[in-house]
Chain A
Amino acid sequence: MTKSMGEKYDAIVVGAGHNGLVCSALLAKAGKRVLVLEANQQVGGAAITREFADGYLVSACAHLLYQLQPEVRKELKLATRLATEDMTTIALGEDGKHVRLKTDSVEGVSDEDAKQYRDFRKRMARFAKLLRKVFNKTPPRLGNQDFQDFLTYAQLGLDVRMLGKAEMEAFLRLIFMNIHDEVTERFEHPMLKGAISLDAVLGTHLGPRSPNTMMTYLYRLAGDQGRAGVPAGGMGSVSNELAQAARGAGVTIRTGMPVKRIIIENGRATGVETESGERFDSYKVISNADPKTTLMKLIGAKHAETGFARRVSHIRARGNAAKLHLALDGLPAIEGLSRKDFAERLVIAPDEHYVERAFNPAKYGESSPNPVIEITFPSFRDETLAPTGKHVMSAVVQYAPYGLKGGWNEEAKAAFMKAIIDTLAKYMPDIEQRITASELLTPADIENEFHITGGHWHHGELSLDQFLFVRPVNGAAQYQLPIDGVYLCGAGAHPGGGISGAAGRNAARAILRREKAA
C-alpha cells in the first residue's frame, strides 16, 4: 500500500548525484518546488567521501576534479576549496626516470617530443574548447524543424568552420580516430605515448586502438583543459557544497529514501514510490539514475514503446574501472620522485602497447594481469583524510570488466588485487609492507554501492553511437524520455559522466525552456 504524502512538488529528482543536485538547485532557483530523493545515506552519488578503514577517508568513486563546468560554478556560486590543483601527471618509469606531463609542456622526453607535445596540446585545447561549448547545450534533434535545434546545428557548424580550413580538416579527421594512431604518429617516448593513451581510455570499455578514443581524450579536456585538482575533504565536499546550494535555493533533499518506481498513470509520470511505500506526487520526475535503470527498473519498459525500449536495453554500459583504496602507514618509496611529487597524479602506463594489452583480456571477460593505474595520495595535502603521519592512496585500476567470467567473487577479487599490488611494487618496492587496510571496488561493487548499471562511470559507453544527438539513445537526447513527465539529468544523458555538472545543468535548462514554450 502506498500513502500519498499530500504535498505536490513541481519536480522530483530521483538520486542526489552531483548532476541531480545541480539540476534541482537550478530548478529551485527558477522558483520550482523540488524534492530530491537519494537511496544512500549520503548525498553525492559517486562523488562522495567516506571512511574505508578506521580513521581513513577517501573519495569513494570519482577522485579527481577536472571537468566541473565554469557555468555550473558560476550559477551556483560554488567556491570549491582545492587541496591540490593543476596537478602534473607523472608517468612512472621503473628505473626512476619519469615523464612529467603538464597542461602544455612535458619534461623527461626529447626536444622533438616536447615540441610535438606543445603543438598537440595546443590543438587539443582548441578542439576541447569547441566541444565544451557543445557539452553545455541540449543536443539538437536530428531531422526536425525546431528553430532552436537549427540554431544549435548552425552554431556547431560555424564553430567547426571557424577553426580555419586546416584545423577544421584536422578536427574532422581526428574526432573519429583512435588515440593510438595519433600518439604513434606524433611521439617517440613510450611513456609519453602510454600516459596519453591512458587518459583517453580511463573509465571506458575501450583500449587505445578502439574507435573514437580521440574523442574520449578530448572529453577529458573539455573542462579546464584537463587540469585536475583534488577538493579539500575529498569529492564529498563538492557534493556537500552542491547540496548546500540546492537547499539554499529551497530544495528538499531526503537521503536514505530509495525510489522503488516512477509512477506512470495514463501514460504519464505522476510521482514516485519509495521502497518504504511512501508516495510523492509530481508531474515531473527527473531521473539522475542511468537510463537503463530509469526505464527498465524504475518506470518499466512496458510504459515505453517497443523501439525505444529496445534501444535503451541495448545501451552499452560495461564498466571496466576498479577503484583501489589503500590505508598506508607512510608514503611508499618511489625512486626518482621528490617528496612534493606525492601531491601529483601518478600513472602506470609505461607504453601505448601496455595499455592496449591491459585491455585485451577485458574483451574476453578477464581482468588485466598487468593493469594500468592512476594513483593519487589525497592525504598528502589534506590531513583530514588520514591519521597523522599515515596516508591514503586512491587509485583507478583498469581493466576489471564488469562482466568478469565467473563473476567478481572473493577469489577473483583477490587475484586482481594481487596483480595490482605486483604492478605497484615494480615502482614502489615497499608498498606491500605499508598497507594497513585496503578496499577494492570492482565495477560490480560500484554498481551495488552507487546504483549505476554496469558500474560504468558514464552510465553508458562514451562512443560515437551513444554520443550527442543519440545519447543515451535516439528519442531521449533532449533530457526528456518519450513518456510524458520523465526526464534524465545524469551522466547517461548528454554529454556524459565525470564531475562536470553539465548534464544536470543542461537538463534543468531544457526543462525550463520547454515549460516556457508550452
Chain B
Amino acid sequence: MTIVEGPVREAVPQGPLKTPFYPRVAKIDTVNQWHEWKGFSSPDALYCEDLEYFSIRNGTAVFDLSPMTKYRVTGPDAMDYLNRLVTRDMAKIKPGRVAYAVWCDDQGQVIDDGTIFHLREGEYRICCQERHFAWFQAATIGFDVDVVHETEDIAGLAVQGPTSYSVLKTMGVEGLEDLKPFGLIHVDFQGTEMMVSRTGFTADLGYELWIDPAKALDLWDALFEAGENFKIRAIGTHALELARIEAGYLAPYAEFLPVDETIRTGRSRSPLELGLEWLVDFKKPNFNGRRALAEEKRKGSTWRLVKLDIEGNKVADSSYIFSNSKAKGESIGFITSAAWSPVCKQNIALGTVRTPHGKPGDTVWVEIYYQREMHWNREMAKATVVDKPFWFPPRRGATPPGPY
C-alpha cells in the first residue's frame, strides 16, 4: 500500500472559535460571562457592566467586533450589484465613505441591515450581523462581480467614546482631524495597513479599526498603551447593547426578524415599517423589494417602529403597548428593546406598533410587569413617542473632534 501525502489540514476546531483578540480579552476578564456570537466566543461583560457602559460615554470603550460578518465585493459591476441589492442609492457613496444600508427580499421584507464600506474605487465590504452568503451569491446572477466571505480574514475593534479621538491620535493615527462620520481612511500601523472608519453602534464619538488578524494583538497593546490616560476600557456586549438602545439603532432578532428566519407571514418587517424610509430610494429603477415597497407606500404600512420615552423608572422589557391607560381592547404593539438610560436619565424603549398608532408626539400606554419580593405587580406607564435618538451628542459629529 502506498501512502499519498495530502495537504496538511488543521483540525476542525471544537466549540466556539476564538477571535484574534481573545488572548487579551480573556486576560482582562474577571466575571467569565460569555456567549456565542456567530460561532465565536464573545463576552457579555468583562468586570462590571455599569463601568463598562460609562467608559463608552465618559472615556473610551474597546469592543472586539471581529465576529461581525464581512463580505468583500469587487469586480466591474460591484456598484451596480450593491445598488440592486440594497434599497439606498450606492452611487452616492464615494470611495472612502461608509453607508448604513438595509437589504430586502423581493417582497420588500428586511433580510438584514449593515454597513457598506467603499474601501477603494469599485471595492466594497459589507459588514453585518447575520450570514448571507447564499443570498449575496444568488444576487450575483447577471453581474460581473465577486463576493467573498472574509469574516475571519479581518480583525475588528470598535473604539468608542469621547476620548477615542485622543487615544487614536496618541497611538499615532494620522488624518483623523478631517475624518467625518461615515468616512474611512487607510493608515499604517506598524508597517501593516489598517482601515479606520468613523463608525459605531453607540451614537457617540467613535471609530472602528480593521486589520490583518496577525497584527491584532499588537494593535490591542498599542491602543491600551495610548489610552492609559484617557480612561480606556474593554467592554462586553451588555454595555454596548445599552448604548445601542440609547442610540435608537436596530438589532436583528429584536427590532426585526430577518425575513429568511420567519415562518409565519406578517412576522417580518419592511424598511418602511422600521423607520428607514430615508434609506429607500425609489428613484432607482430596480432594487430588491422595490415593487413591493412601492405598493406598500401606496397602500400604507402595517407596522411602525417607535422610540418611547416612558414615565417612571421600571424597565418596560417585553411589554405590550396599548392606546389607552386601561389596557382596553387589543394591544397596539409591543416593546422590542428597553432600558433605563443612565446618560439620559430616561426610561427608554424601542417598540413596534400598528399604524396609524405611534406617530411622533403620540401618547401610548405600556403595560409593565415587575417583581417585588416574589410578588408580581403591574403598572400602566404613560409613554411619549419621540422622533429623535435618545442620545446623539454634538461631539458625535464634530469634525475635527474635540480633544477630551
Contacts and interface: CB of A to CB of B under 8 A. Distances in A.
Contacts of A296: 141-142
A120 interface: no
Contacts of A308: 106
B288 to A, nearest CB: 5
B80 A475 contact: no
Interface string B245-288: 00000000000000000000000000000000000000001111
A302 interface: yes
B138 A306 contact: yes
A303 B141 contact: no
A157 interface: no
A302 B82 CA distance: 11
B128 to A, nearest CB: 16
Interface in A124-149: none
Interface in B125-146: 135, 138-139, 141-143
Contacts of B142: 296, 300-304, 309
A240 B142 CA distance: 37
Contacts of A309: 138, 141-142
Interface string A290-307: 000000100011111111
B135 A306 contact: yes
Q: Which of A304, A309, A313 has the most CB of B within 10 A?
A: A309
Contacts of B290: 267, 305
Q: Which of B84, B106, B135, B143 has the most CB of A within 10 A?
A: B106
Contacts of A306: 84-85, 105-106, 135, 138-139, 141, 288
A363 interface: no
Nearest to A307: B106
A308 B84 CA distance: 13
Interface in B76-90: 77, 80, 84-85
Contacts, number: 55
Nearest to A474: B106
Interface residues of B, number: 19
B289 interface: yes
Nearest to B284: A267
B291 interface: yes
B285 A302 contact: no
B84 A302 contact: yes
Contact of A310 (B84, B138, B287): B138
Nearest to A314: B138
Nearest to B105: A307
A482 B286 CA distance: 11
B288 A307 contact: yes
Nearest to A267: B285
B95 to A, nearest CB: 22
B141 to A, nearest CB: 5
A266 interface: yes
A161 to B, nearest CB: 28
A266 B84 CA distance: 13
A279 to B, nearest CB: 19
Nearest to A296: B142
B78 to A, nearest CB: 12
Q: Which of A265, A302, A313, A475 has the most CB of B within 10 A?
A: A302
B141 A301 contact: yes
Interface in B336-385: none
Given A475-B106, A482-B106, A305 B143 contact: no
Contacts of A266: 285
Given A267-B285, A267-B286, A475-B106, A305 B291 contact: yes
Interface string A473-514: 001000000110000000000000000000000000000000
A266 B142 CA distance: 17
Nearest to B137: A310
A302 B139 CA distance: 8
Contacts of A268: 285
Contacts of B106: 305-308, 475, 482
A275 B348 CA distance: 63
A306 B85 CA distance: 8
A482 B291 contact: yes
Given A475-B106, A482-B106, A305 B289 contact: yes
Interface string B98-125: 0000000110000000000000000000
A113 B85 CA distance: 60
Q: Which of A268, A296, A310 has the most CB of B within 10 A?
A: A310
Interface string A257-299: 0000000111110000000000000000000000000001000
A340 B142 CA distance: 55
Interface in A327-375: none
A78 B291 CA distance: 41
Contact of B286 (A305, A307, A313, A475): A305
B141 A313 contact: yes
A483 to B, nearest CB: 8
Nearest to A313: B141
Nearest to B77: A302
A307 B291 CA distance: 13
B283 to A, nearest CB: 10
Contacts of A483: 286
Given A475-B106, A482-B106, A305 B141 contact: no
Nearest to A484: B291
Contacts of A313: 141
Interface of A: 264-268, 296, 300-310, 313, 475, 482-483
Interface of B: 77, 80, 84-85, 105-106, 135, 138-139, 141-143, 285-291
Given A301-B143, A304-B142, A306-B105, 11 more contacts: A266-B285, A296-B141, A300-B142, A302-B77, A305-B106, A305-B286, A305-B289, A305-B291, A306-B106, A309-B138, A482-B106
Q: Which 10 A-B residue pairs are closest in the complex by CB-CB distance?
A: A301-B142, A267-B285, A307-B106, A310-B138, A302-B142, A305-B106, A306-B139, A301-B141, A266-B285, A305-B288
5 contacts: A265-B285, A302-B142, A305-B291, A306-B141, A307-B106
